[in-house]
């Protein structure tokens, strides 16, 4: 069986995923695309030599009986409407983060999926498929460092554009740590507080950068997460878990070591496309294979998308108040029982 994808949004990551499904992964095929910028859709079909129909909008694409799965790579605010429509039509959905920009929007997707009575949605939280994070989770789950007590993490971009706003440090960037860290330690979040350190001269005048988030979990773990999106030196993701009996840290991305001009150096990546290339490949191959073998995706669910949205809302509130803000989740429905993500 070939899983036939319709793609909504042929921008940066949409084209990345189209390329990997077409040229690197197995079992998937792009059969339809749409974009509000139709020229982008046309250029994508031509560039990737796709045998795909170009639709005027997501609704027409979803109605195509040759589309088994909808790949949602449009702008975040557009995700909810497309995902709900696809679920209601019984289509599988791979939705890039965020699932929806509000917790209420995520709940509408959760309710639509539960009404359908079948898991259809996977959210593009690819760090759960990154080999470094998978190794971290294995160490923690095997109790090799004892109970986790603290986490120190950093999410650094070399630079962001003028359209990047202070709240996007949460909704667009921190959301990756929000998803992966509670998954790592098998614990739910309780509260968050934000501190704005001295602002870098490299941030545009409306952006607070860097930002420091202190997140507490129900069992008392304290996580300090730095978001610094104008660090200049590169794209750098760090994560260290401090436990009762030891410390485990995300490995540095592999790089050759150069000796030259009296210096010893290694390279640092400058873009998310390369840092998580393998994770993107594994998450989408897992989506294809799980659906083909079991009829359901097994990756991050719509409920994980809801958890991320609730936590994001609290983080944005904490940015505004400077106070410790509660993170309060509704009770997890049995439909989304904690099978957890199989280590891939
Ligand atoms: N998992 C990850 O590491 C990453 C995830 N993303 C997420 O992927 C999504 C897309 O991001 P980018 O590719 O960077 O953005 P982009 O701006 O490069 O591409 C988005 C495309 O969607 C189209 N679009 C917007 N609304 C639409 C609608 N209602 N229907 C059809 N097409 C629509 C736009 O015309 C544009 O071509 C975002 O949600 C972003 O958060 C982006 C980068 C990395
Ligand atoms: O989702 C992404 C990327 O994965 C980067 O990690 C972020 O820094 C970026 O802002 C966001 O679009």
CATH number for position 74 = 3.40.50.720
Q: Are 228 and 155 in contact (CB under 8 A)?
A: yes
ipTM score for this prediction: 0.98
Do 63 and 179 share a domain, yes or no?
no
* 73 located within any domain: yes
Distance, in Å, from the CA atom of 61 to the CA atom of 139, rounded to the nearest integer, reads 43
- Structure confidence at residue 340 as a pLDDT band (50, 70, 90): very low
Instruction: Indicate if the pLDDT at residue 317 is higher than 60.
Output: yes
Residue 93 CA, distance from chain mean position: 14
Provide, rounded to the nearest whole percent, the portion of the chain with pLDDT above 90. 97
* 214 located within any domain: yes
Distance, in Å, from the CA atom of 287 to the CA atom of 243, rounded to the nearest integer, reads 33
Do 104 and 146 share a domain, yes or no?
no
Choose one of 220, 235, 270: the last residue of a domain: 270
* 342 located within any domain: no
* 335 located within any domain: no
Do 140 and 110 share a domain, yes or no?
no
Give the model confidence (pLDDT) of 30-84 as tens digits. Answer: 999 999 999 999 999 999 999 999 999 999 999 999 999 999 999 999 999 999 9
pLDDT at position 338: 65
Do 102 and 119 share a domain, yes or no?
yes
pLDDT at position 53: 98
Residue of 9, 37, 125, 308 to mutate, ligand 1, most atoms within 8 A of C-beta? 9
Choose one of 227, 249, 270: the last residue of a domain: 270
List alpha helices for 226-343, DSSP H: 272-275, 277-294, 302-321
- Structure confidence at residue 344 as a pLDDT band (50, 70, 90): very low
Give the model confidence (pLDDT) of 14-31 as tens digits. Answer: 999 999 999 999 999 999
Choose one of 53, 88, 123: the last residue of a domain: 123
pLDDT at position 337: 86
* 209 located within any domain: yes
- For ligand 2, atom 10, which residue shows the shortest CA distance? 173
pLDDT at position 1: 87
Do 170 and 239 share a domain, yes or no?
yes
Return the structure tokens found at 225: 């997460």
Give the model confidence (pLDDT) of 146-164 as tens digits. Answer: 999 999 999 999 999 999 9
Do 173 and 245 share a domain, yes or no?
yes
Q: Is the CB–ligand 2 distance for residue 173 below 6 Å? A: yes
Do 100 and 157 share a domain, yes or no?
no
Q: Is the CB–ligand 2 distance for residue 272 below 6 Å? A: yes
Cα–Cα nearest to 183, from 138, 224, 145 = 138
pLDDT at position 339: 56
d(CA 260, ligand 2 centre) in Å: 33
* 282 located within any domain: no
Please state the atom number of ligand 2 nearest to the C-alpha of residue 276: 4
Q: Tell me which of 130-139, 239-248, 258-267, 330-339 is least confident.
A: 330-339
Residues lining ligand 1, Cβ inside 6 A: 8-14, 34-37, 40, 58, 73-76, 78, 96-97, 124, 126, 172, 272, 276
Write the CATH number for 172: 3.30.360.10
Handedness of CA 159, 315, 127, 50 (dihedral sign): negative
The partner residues of 70 in beta bridges, in order of sequence, read 6, 93
Q: Is the CB–ligand 2 distance for residue 157 below 6 Å? A: yes
Do 64 and 90 share a domain, yes or no?
yes
Give the model confidence (pLDDT) of 77-120 as tens digits. Answer: 999 999 999 999 999 999 999 999 999 999 999 999 999 999 99
Q: Is the CB–ligand 2 distance for residue 226 below 6 Å? A: no
pLDDT, mean over the chain: 96
* 201 located within any domain: yes
**Number of domains into which the chain is organized:** 2
Do 189 and 256 share a domain, yes or no?
yes
The ligand with the least distance to the CA atom of 227 is 2
Instruction: Indicate if the pLDDT at residue 168 is higher than 80.
Output: yes
Q: Which domain holds residue 54?
A: 3-123
Give the model confidence (pLDDT) of 205-236 as tens digits. Answer: 999 999 999 999 999 999 999 999 999 999 99
The ligand with the least distance to the CA atom of 36 is 1
pTM of the model: 0.95
Do 174 and 261 share a domain, yes or no?
yes
Do 263 and 159 share a domain, yes or no?
yes
Please state the atom number of ligand 2 nearest to the C-alpha of residue 237: 6
Do 264 and 174 share a domain, yes or no?
yes
Instruction: Indicate if the pLDDT at residue 175 is higher than 80.
Output: yes
Cβ atoms within 10 Å of 149's Cβ, excluding its own: 16
In this prediction, residues 124-132 reach a mean pLDDT of 98
User: Nearest 5°: CA angle at 328, between 322 and 334?
Assistant: 155
* 245 located within any domain: yes
């Amino acid at each position: 069986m070939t899983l036939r994808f319709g793609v909504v949004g042929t921008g940066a990551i949409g084209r990345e995923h189209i390329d990997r499904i077409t040229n690197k992964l197995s079992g998937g095929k792009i059969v339809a695309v749409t974009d509000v910028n139709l020229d982008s859709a046309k250029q994508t079909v031509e560039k990737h030599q796709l045998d795909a129909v170009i639709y005027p909008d997501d609704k027409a694409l979803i109605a195509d009986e040759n589309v088994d799965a909808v790949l949602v790579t449009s702008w975040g605010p557009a995700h909810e409407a497309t995902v709900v429509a696809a679920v209601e039509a019984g289509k599988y959905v791979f939705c890039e983060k965020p699932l929806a920009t509000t917790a209420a929007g995520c709940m509408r997707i959760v309710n639509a999926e539960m009404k359908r009575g079948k898991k259809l949605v996977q959210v593009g939280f690819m760090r759960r498929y990154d080999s470094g994070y998978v190794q971290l989770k294995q160490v923690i789950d095997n109790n090799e460092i004892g109970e986790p007590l603290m986490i120190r993490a950093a999410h650094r971009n070399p630079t962001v554009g003028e359209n990047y706003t202070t709240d996007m440090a949460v909704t667009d960037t921190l959301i990756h740590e929000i998803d992966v860290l509670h998954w790592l330690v098998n614990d739910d979040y309780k509260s968050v507080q934000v501190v704005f350190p001295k602002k870098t001269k490299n941030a545009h005048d409306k952006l607070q950068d860097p930002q420091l988030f202190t997140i507490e979990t129900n069992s008392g773990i304290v996580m300090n997460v730095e978001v610094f999106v104008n660090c200049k030196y590169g794209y750098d993701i760090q994560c260290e878990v401090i436990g009762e009996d030891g410390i485990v840290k995300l490995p540095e991305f592999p790089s050759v070591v150069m000796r030259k001009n009296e210096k010893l150096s290694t390279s640092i990546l400058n873009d998310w496309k390369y840092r998580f290339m393998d994770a993107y490949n594994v998450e989408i191959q897992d989506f294809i294979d799980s659906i083909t073998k079991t009829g359901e995706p097994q990756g991050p669910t719509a409920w994980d998308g809801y958890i991320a949205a609730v936590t994001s809302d609290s983080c944005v509130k904490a940015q505004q108040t400077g106070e410790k803000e509660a993170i309060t989740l509704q009770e997890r429905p049995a439909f989304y029982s904690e099978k957890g993500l199989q280590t891939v």
